[in-house]
């Protein structure tokens, strides 16, 4: 029999129960025990509903209150010194590592976060040094395994594999210069052995060890580490299912197929082409092959016929008992269930599948491959075939005008009229800015009042006019605030936006939205990605009204604020029937019209945020050039339709630009702001190394934490930056938007920022 499996399930709760509980705990409104109880309720619901959907291998241990990588760091005692000895409970140390802590005399910043492979999920980066003292502080895998067992549910525990855990981490500040986290593998393995041996004793038949690093080029040099780790672990562990996802194994398959593992999972959603070679490689072994046929990354209904074709190939080669049908990755990246969607039309719902529905899909596919004669299986197959053909029919009805416009894009449309050196002079006359201009990245605190007004408007409890009046007042007060604090280049504060991507999706043709389709982005921050279902176009101006209103109430220059094409694409669920490139170009053309309209409306600067360019980079280097070509072209297409006088800005978060710098240069934005407060000047050094000559605003403090940076702290940071960068290029700004912050800390932080910039003006 072919079995079915889910690699991981969303851990936020169908109604965001975990966010609510975690935030209530942070606010001191519930106790740690109440938090544990709330988490237990969500886990129980997840396990029982997966069981009810007929999934054979239900995951446990992948649940998290903040982040699964952070869970491992806490469990393995990978706790940076700054969090130790502060009198915090282990739970509070855990949260302090995730989000920083500033209360009761404790003042520690958060650890660095990074994007989880090419997704929009952020993990907390483990910090290692020669002194890392691995210990099994607690065994979360076993606790959750037993928790499920007590409910009568047998699960397959999920643990991040030791090589990936180390490779995803970084060397801490006190490590020696050449220190490589992977060198700690021999010290880490005993802890893994203990954890896995305990799982075996507790009765777990299988354990899922995630080694997503295996789909990266660099894994090719870890053969030795993988081989020694897995031979040690397999001696004591339950049967090991080694899982890879988000890409293809390529040449790494050569050593992976030789590892002493009982099962191997591959992602056939992202890389269906690897099936043949994987079958050949595992056939002579006893390895069970887990086929990631149901996408954990998109929300489209699985095309059963296509999936069964791949599945049948594996069954023919290996036999039913050596094949598992699984989700391609954890379902963490998609919403919990379509059931909560009351506003999507029946036609739209018919196209889609969320986590619970995908669980059902793996179960049906496994039964179909086991030649099940069950009536409900043949019914499900037939229903799926009909849905898929209805969707194909819809896809054929594209927007002809949009397609023609994309086909007519010329090379000249990507370039500004003059080079930066010329533009810079023109812009000096148009925007009056001092040396070290201070600005923000766009959003200001999204307060309860703003959210309430939006909710009331959505529910029809206030009129459009009332809502707009409210927003105007909000904008005016944010403008006054910036004037008072002393910022130079102002923004309108984005109060009209529920989310930087969703908002634009809502104003464009071609998108649909969920009511409850939340996906975890980091910690307790969830987003609701829009879904691109057809060709994209702009029915009319989107932000012009707000930016021009903001400009009308101040004499200071105003910066318009847009989300870029690649970011809208990456943070939406894209169509699966046309290329990402085509969707990106359609978005770029829509935004190009918006940038032109903003200039016409008298706005002097426009920022087009592209924080997702880096994360959208393919995981394999051979695929980079093609992606970077269309991604950078899309940004240029969106921003090059204006005169030299318009100062274009772009913004990136958490980006490592080392290896793609020429593309960052090719964007040719007049000003680019980047996250730099946590990356120890490494990023800025890259800019210097490449002789970057446009303006640059390296973030001077971390906004992902409520902690207020001191005036001196910001001066020190500026000093350090100015040792690297020429003073003529530097803008001074926080490292991202302020929407998740409260007003109190925003005011205190920005005052310090302005005062540090004034200090710099006097000293440089």
| Positions that interact with Zn ion (CB under 5 A) | 611, 653, 736
Query: Which residue number, 245 or 503, has a Cβ lying nearer to ligand GLN?
Result: 503
Please choose which of ligand GLN, Zn ion, none residue 442 contacts, taking the beta carbon within 5 to 8 angstroms, the exact cut-off set by kind.
ligand GLN
Least CB distance to ligand GLN at residue 564 (A): 10
Query: Which residue number, 532 or 561, has a Cβ lying nearer to ligand GLN?
Result: 561
Taking Cα atoms as reference points, which of 493, 621, 476, 614 lies closest to residue 554?
A: 476
Helices 464-485 & 544-552 angle (0-180, nearest 10): 50
Element (H, E) at 562: strand 559-563
Rounded-to-integer distance, Cα 365 and Cα 381, Å: 9
CB 216 within 8 A of CB 209: no
* Rama region for 463: left / alpha / beta (φ>0; ψ in -120 to 50; rest): beta
Please choose which of ligand GLN, Zn ion, none residue 702 contacts, taking the beta carbon within 5 to 8 angstroms, the exact cut-off set by kind.
none
Query: Which tokens sit at 441?
Result: 């990245």
E-strand ranges in 7-154 read 58-60, 101-103, 106-108, 113-115, 122-124, 127-128
The phi and psi torsions of 71 (rounded to 5 degrees) equal -55, -45
Least CB distance to ligand GLN at residue 655 (A): 10
Rounded-to-integer distance, Cα 577 and Cα 611, Å: 25
Query: Which residue number, 7 or 500, has a Cβ lying nearer to ligand GLN?
Result: 500
Least CB distance to ligand GLN at residue 424 (A): 23
CB 324 within 8 A of CB 292: no
Query: Which residue number, 654 or 692, has a Cβ lying nearer to ligand GLN?
Result: 654
Q: For 541-562, give one letter per residue: b (16+ CB within 10 A) or e.
A: bbbbebbbbbbebeebbbbbbb
Query: Which residue number, 232 or 670, has a Cβ lying nearer to Zn ion?
Result: 670
Strand order in the sheet with 671-674: 559-563, 605-609, 647-652, 671-674, 695-698
Sign of the torsion angle spanned by Cα atoms 319, 369, 362, 49: negative
Least CB distance to Zn ion at residue 615 (A): 12
Least CB distance to ligand GLN at residue 612 (A): 9
CB 482 within 8 A of CB 490: yes
Catalytic residue (choose from 333, 430, 704, 763): 704
Cα-based angle 446, 450, 454 (whole degrees, multiple of 5): 120
Please choose which of Zn ion, ligand GLN, none residue 488 contacts, taking the beta carbon within 5 to 8 angstroms, the exact cut-off set by kind.
none
Q: Which residue is nearest to ligand GLN (CB)?
A: 737
Please choose which of Zn ion, ligand GLN, none residue 310 contacts, taking the beta carbon within 5 to 8 angstroms, the exact cut-off set by kind.
none
CB 358 within 8 A of CB 331: yes
Question: CB under 8 Å, gap of 24 or more: what pairs does 684-687 form?
Answer: 684/721, 684/724, 684/725, 685/724, 686/657, 686/658, 686/661, 687/657, 687/661, 687/724, 687/725
Helices 90-99 & 68-75 angle (0-180, nearest 10): 130
Query: Which residue number, 526 or 759, has a Cβ lying nearer to Zn ion?
Result: 526
- The three-class DSSP label of residue 124 is strand
Please choose which of Zn ion, ligand GLN, none residue 141 contacts, taking the beta carbon within 5 to 8 angstroms, the exact cut-off set by kind.
none
CB 144 within 8 A of CB 59: no
Least CB distance to Zn ion at residue 100 (A): 17
The full 3-state SS of 87-122, as one line of letters, equals: CCCHHHHHHHHHHCEEECCEEECCCCEEECCCCCCE
Residue 58 carries which DSSP code? E
Please choose which of Zn ion, ligand GLN, none residue 500 contacts, taking the beta carbon within 5 to 8 angstroms, the exact cut-off set by kind.
ligand GLN
Rounded-to-integer distance, Cα 450 and Cα 482, Å: 18
Please choose which of Zn ion, ligand GLN, none residue 739 contacts, taking the beta carbon within 5 to 8 angstroms, the exact cut-off set by kind.
ligand GLN
704 belongs to the catalytic site: yes
Element (H, E) at 324: strand 323-327
CB 237 within 8 A of CB 196: yes
Least CB distance to Zn ion at residue 701 (A): 13
Query: Which residue number, 72 or 614, has a Cβ lying nearer to ligand GLN?
Result: 614
Query: Which residue number, 440 or 752, has a Cβ lying nearer to ligand GLN?
Result: 440
Q: Partners of 663 in the beta sheet? A: none
Query: Which residue number, 100 or 737, has a Cβ lying nearer to ligand GLN?
Result: 737
CB 122 within 8 A of CB 115: yes
Please give the residue ranges that form the binding site for ligand GLN (CB under 6 A): 441-443, 494, 500, 561, 609, 611, 651, 653, 736-737, 739
* CA distances in angstroms from 39 to 16, 122, 150, 182, 311, listed in the order given: 11, 20, 15, 33, 35
- The three-class DSSP label of residue 515 is coil
Taking Cα atoms as reference points, which of 20, 51, 47 lies closest to residue 35?
A: 20
Residue carrying the six token digits 């008072």: 484
Query: Which residue number, 233 or 568, has a Cβ lying nearer to ligand GLN?
Result: 568
Least CB distance to ligand GLN at residue 268 (A): 32
Please choose which of ligand GLN, Zn ion, none residue 760 contacts, taking the beta carbon within 5 to 8 angstroms, the exact cut-off set by kind.
none
Rounded-to-integer distance, Cα 115 and Cα 65, Å: 18
Least CB distance to ligand GLN at residue 673 (A): 9
Rounded-to-integer distance, Cα 619 and Cα 469, Å: 46
Rounded-to-integer distance, Cα 191 and Cα 136, Å: 6
Least CB distance to ligand GLN at residue 497 (A): 8
Please choose which of Zn ion, ligand GLN, none residue 445 contacts, taking the beta carbon within 5 to 8 angstroms, the exact cut-off set by kind.
none
Query: Which residue number, 495 or 510, has a Cβ lying nearer to ligand GLN?
Result: 495
Least CB distance to Zn ion at residue 20 (A): 25
Least CB distance to ligand GLN at residue 443 (A): 3
Residues near 165 by beta carbon (within 8 Å), at least 6 away in sequence: 69, 72, 76, 126, 188
Query: Which residue number, 292 or 564, has a Cβ lying nearer to ligand GLN?
Result: 564
For the annotated catalytic residues, the residue numbers are: 704
């Amino acid at each position: 029999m072919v079995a079915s499996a889910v690699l991981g399930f969303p851990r936020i709760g169908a109604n965001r129960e975990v966010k609510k509980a975690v935030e209530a705990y942070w606010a001191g409104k519930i106790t740690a025990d109440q938090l544990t109880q709330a988490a237990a309720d969500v886990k129980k619901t997840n396990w029982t509903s997966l069981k009810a959907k007929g999934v054979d291998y239900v995951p446990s241990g992948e649940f998290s209150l903040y982040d699964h990588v952070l869970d491992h760091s806490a469990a393995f005692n990978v706790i940076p010194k700054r969090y130790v000895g502060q009198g915090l409970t282990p739970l509070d140390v855990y949260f302090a590592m995730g989000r920083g802590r500033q209360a009761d005399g404790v003042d520690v910043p958060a650890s660095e976060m990074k994007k989880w492979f090419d997704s929009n999920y952020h993990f907390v980066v483990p910090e290692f040094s020669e002194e890392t003292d691995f210990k099994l502080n607690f065994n979360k895998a076993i606790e959750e395994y037993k928790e499920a067992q007590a409910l009568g549910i047998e699960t397959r525990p999920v643990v991040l594999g030791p090589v990936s855990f180390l490779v995803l981490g970084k060397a801490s500040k006190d490590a020696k210069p050449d220190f490589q986290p992977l060198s700690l593998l021999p010290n880490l393995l005993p802890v893994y052995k203990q954890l896995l041996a305990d799982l075996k004793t507790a009765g777990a038949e299988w354990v899922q060890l995630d080694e997503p690093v295996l789909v990266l080029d660099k894994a090719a040099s870890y053969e030795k580490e993988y081989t020694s780790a897995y031979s040690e672990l397999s001696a004591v562990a339950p049967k090991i299912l080694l899982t890879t996802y988000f890409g293809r194994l390529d040449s790494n398959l050569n050593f992976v197929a030789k590892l002493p593992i009982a099962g191997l999972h591959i992602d056939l959603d992202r890389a269906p082409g690897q099936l043949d070679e994987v079958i050949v490689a595992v056939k002579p072994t006893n390895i069970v092959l887990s086929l990631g046929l149901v996408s954990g990354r998109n929300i489209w209904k699985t095309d059963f016929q296509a999936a069964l074709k791949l599945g049948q190939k594996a069954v023919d080669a290996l036999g039913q008992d050596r094949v598992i049908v699984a989700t391609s990755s954890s379902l963490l990246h998609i919403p919990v269930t379509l059931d909560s969607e009351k506003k999507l039309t029946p036609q739209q719902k018919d196209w889609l599948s969320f986590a619970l529905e995908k669980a059902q899909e793996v179960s049906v596919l496994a039964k179909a491959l086991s030649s099940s004669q069950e009536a409900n299986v043949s019914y499900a197959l037939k229903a799926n075939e009909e849905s898929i053909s209805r969707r194909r029919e819809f896809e054929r009805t594209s927007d002809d005008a949009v397609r023609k416009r994309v086909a007519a894009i010329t090379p000249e449309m990507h370039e500004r009229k003059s080079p930066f050196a010329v533009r810079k002079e023109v812009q000096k006359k148009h925007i009056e800015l001092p040396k070290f201009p201070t600005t923000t990245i766009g959003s200001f605190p999204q307060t309860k009042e703003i959210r309430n007004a939006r909710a009331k408007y959505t529910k029809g409890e206030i009129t459009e006019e009332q809502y707009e009046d409210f927003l105007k007042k909000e904008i005016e007060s944010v403008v006054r605030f910036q004037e008072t604090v002393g910022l130079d280049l102002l923004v309108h504060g984005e109060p009209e936006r529920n989310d930087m991507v969703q908002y634009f999706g809502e104003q464009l043709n071609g998108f649909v939205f969920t009511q409850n389709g939340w996906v975890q982005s980091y910690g307790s921050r969830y987003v609701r990605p829009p879904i691109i279902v057809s060709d994209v176009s702009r029915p009319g101006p989107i932000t012009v009204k707000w930016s021009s209103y903001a400009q009308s109430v101040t004499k200071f220059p105003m910066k318009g604020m847009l989300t870029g094409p690649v970011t809208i694409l990456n943070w939406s669920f894209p169509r699966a029937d046309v290329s990402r490139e085509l969707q990106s170009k359609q978005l770029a053309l829509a935004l190009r019209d918006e940038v032109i309209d903003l200039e016409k409306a008298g706005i002097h600067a426009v920022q087009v945020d592209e924080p997702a360019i880096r994360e959208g980079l393919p995981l394999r280097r051979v695929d980079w050039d093609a992606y970077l070509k269309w991604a950078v072209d899309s940004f240029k297409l969106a921003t090059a339709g204006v005169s030299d006088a318009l100062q274009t800005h772009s913004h990136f978060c958490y980006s490592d630009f080392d290896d793609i710098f020429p593309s960052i240069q090719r964007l040719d934005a007049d000003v680019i702001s980047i996250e730099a407060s946590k990356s120890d000047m490494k990023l800025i050094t890259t800019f210097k190394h490449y002789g970057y000559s446009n303006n640059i605003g390296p973030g001077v403090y971390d906004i992902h934490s409520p902690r207020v940076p001191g005036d001196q702290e910001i001066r020190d940071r500026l000093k350090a930056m100015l040792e690297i960068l020429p003073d003529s290029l530097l803008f001074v700004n926080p490292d991202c938007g302020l929407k998740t912050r409260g007003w109190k800390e925003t005011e205190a932080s920005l005052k310090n920022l302005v005062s540090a910039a004034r200090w710099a003006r006097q000293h440089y």
